[in-house]
Amino acid sequence: MFDKLEAIENRFEELNMRLADPGVINDQEQYMKLMKEHAELSEIVEKYREYKSYVKTLEDARSMLKDNPDKELEEMIRAEMREAEEGIERTEKELKILLLPKDPNDEKDVIIEIRAGAGGDEAALFAAVLFRMYTHYAESKGWTTTVIDSNPTEIGGFKEIVFEIEGRGAYSRLKFESGVHRVQRVPATESSGRIHTSTATVAVLPEAEDVPEVEINPNDIEVDTYRASGAGGQHVNKTSSAIRITHIPTGIVVTCQDQRSQHKNREKAMRVLKAKLYELERMKHESELAENRKSQVGTGDRSERIRTYNFPQRRVTDHRIGFTLYQIDQFINGDMDELIDALITTDQAGKLSSGEEE
């Protein structure tokens, strides 16, 4: 590990020199490429230098302890040594995490699909709750949300809704949301106070725009136009601006009707199709790896129940890691970081454990 860290630090210093070169500065394409690499290495280098600082402090303290018989000073030196040892242990763990292979999708924007499952109108209302939850979470991060397609119900729910969240690191924070979400609560329409259980399915797809491996043959798609409609069948507009794209080889169907322009709807529908095809290939690859290694936070399969929102008990439980929060109101209003951090930590621990076994 430390040979690798030395090589990274040397490369970082080399980048510093090259970025100060007028020839590189004048070549914008090369300059941006080197700046990106510099930014990727900076956190590791900073943490490695912190680690080395603790090591030097410990070595100096040991040397002072050997040479100085003063009892009062000895206590101060030993306290400094304990602090340095704790720092070494902590930064070494942090360095191991920083050196884990990066998910190439982590910095990407995401496309999220929410579909009402079992539970009829209550499931559709729960889908709307999830949509608002992710919207509020995106707002808290300074990200933007754009609806791509939706099928609303007359009472304020969604049979399905597809939307995009744009923001650096969106996929890294939201990728573990894929799966079946279950809600247990008393519906507003329930007069007897009986608790109902409903479900909604969430799929999180990394934005696949400009990904070279996702190429769509124009002969493989069928494009249909139709009039956009809202709840109750009311037409949003009088023109056929909504787009339906069918990918013939896979049978994937994508619709987009939230923009008034047919061109914009087609553009967004193609982005969703690319994301789905990219995800299809990624899941094939993941299933091959799963025979040897399975993530502790689950496979991300849409059929897997991942979380329960129990309103009477005010709790949110993630079944993959056995983590429960008794702050359901804050959570569904977008305060999701504590659970998301726990999912990421568990995933990192699983990867570290797998790496040590290998």
Q: What is the pLDDT of residues 281-340, one digit of tens each?
A: 777 766 654 544 444 455 445 567 899 999 999 999 999 999 999 999 999 999 999 999
Percent of all residues in the chain with a pLDDT value above 70, rounded to a whole number: 85
SS3 194: coil
Q: How confident is the model at residue 232 (pLDDT cuts 50, 70, 90)?
A: very low
Residues 253-274: pLDDT tens digits?
888 887 677 888 888 888 888 8
DSSP classification of residue 102: P
At 155, phi and psi to the nearest 5?
A: -105, 15
DSSP code per residue over 118-183: TTHHHHHHHHHHHHHHHHHHHHHTT-EEEEEEEEE-TTS-EEEEEEEEESTTHHHHHGGG-EEEEE
pLDDT of amino acid 261: 78
> Which residue in 106, 109, 181 sits closest to 145, CA to CA?
109
The H or E element containing residue 110 is strand 110-116
pLDDT in tens, 193-226: 788 999 999 999 888 655 555 678 888 888 888 8
Using the predicted structure, report yes or no on whether residue 180 has a pLDDT greater than 70.
Answer: yes
Measure CA 285 to chain center.
Answer: 19
At residue 52 the predicted structure's pLDDT band, cuts being 50, 70 and 90, is very high
Collapsed DSSP state (helix, strand, coil) of residue 25? helix
The pLDDT assigned to 98 comes to 79
Beta partners for 182? 199, 308
Q: Over the chain, what is the mean pLDDT?
A: 84
Q: Output the pLDDT for position 256.
A: 86
- At residue 213, the pLDDT reads 59
53-112 confidence digits (pLDDT tens): 999 999 988 888 887 667 778 888 888 999 999 999 999 888 887 777 777 788 888 989
Residues 6+ apart with CB under 8 A from 156: 125, 128
Q: What percent of the chain has pLDDT over 90?
A: 37
In order of start, what are the domains of the chain with their CATH numbers?
Answer: 2-98 (1.20.58), 110-292+300-350 (3.30.70.1660)
- What is d(CA 267, CA 224) in angstroms, rounded to the nearest whole number? 13
Kindly state the helix (H) or strand (E) to which residue 352 belongs, with its residue range: helix 337-357
Backbone angles phi, psi at 315, to 5 degrees: -125, 155
Cα–Cα dist 16/131, whole Å: 44
Q: What is the per-residue burial (b if ≥16 Cβ within 10 Å, else e) of 189-212? A: eeeeeeebebbbbbbbbbbbeebe
